[in-house]
Structure 1
């Protein structure tokens, strides 16, 4: 099933890798470099199946702040948080959120994404 997600990742190489990996799962991506750029996309006409965001990013908000904004404004929009230097336990997250630790494997990415794809 085709879906469109919002990918928020400041590292260009990792963002490109994620876009390529997600395309193998028939997932289209809108992408941006930080949470500040993500908010206008979320407020726009696009309907996203879910958001994948890095936690540590430059800008006025990090990925965790972005996730909290999403949960407050769009409570049904799933969020996958990802980080290599911060850990968020699953019991700290709403039911429609996940944590994906970097470095992840394609299998781990697929499992995290599959959980949030529309049925």
Structure 2
């Protein structure tokens, strides 16, 4: 379906990262996964195939998901972002190319959010 584009998945919990990546690949989309926001910035700097970033808010390294979103909005403002968290129920003031998914969400909800941002 979207073989020429990739989703960059940023999640510091390896089990969650694997489960989410598996759910995304059900859409025939390539997933590049990172365990930290710092690693995600490095991937973004070196890859032109990233069409969407999905990031958890809470991560244990220096940068969290909101820090990563701020970097993306300043350096790659057109890049869509799905922000997710099990600790926050809403985020206000997100740009039009960003959305928030409160955990737990279903695979159908995830797929709808991804399809909303990727080219048809």
**TM-score grouping bracket, smaller chain normalisation:** over 0.9
Partner of 1:111: 112
Select which of 8, 11, 14 maps to 2:13.
Answer: 11
State how 1:52-67 maps to structure 2 within 5 Å: 52-67=54-69
User: 1-side partners of 2:22 and 2:32: how far apart?
Assistant: 12
Secondary structure of the residue aligned to 2:24 is helix
User: 1-side partners of 2:10 and 2:81: how far apart?
Assistant: 11
- Could you tell me how far 1:46 is from its partner in structure 2? 3.5
User: 1-side partners of 2:89 and 2:64: how far apart?
Assistant: 14
User: 2-side partners of 1:25 and 1:47: how far apart?
Assistant: 16
Q: Report Cα offsets for 1:50-107 as digits up to 9, x if no partner.
A: 1000000011110001001100000000000000002333x41000001011111011
Partner of 1:93: 94
Select which of 41, 44, 50 maps to 1:42.
Answer: 44
Normalising by structure 1, we get a TM-score of 0.94
User: 1-side partners of 2:95 and 2:71: how far apart?
Assistant: 13
Normalising by structure 2, we get a TM-score of 0.93
Partner of 1:83: 85
Find runs of 4+ consecutive structure 1 residues off by over 4 angstroms.
none
User: 1-side partners of 2:47 and 2:73: how far apart?
Assistant: 18
Which 5+ residue runs of structure 1 have no aligned equivalent? none
Secondary structure of the residue aligned to 1:49 is strand
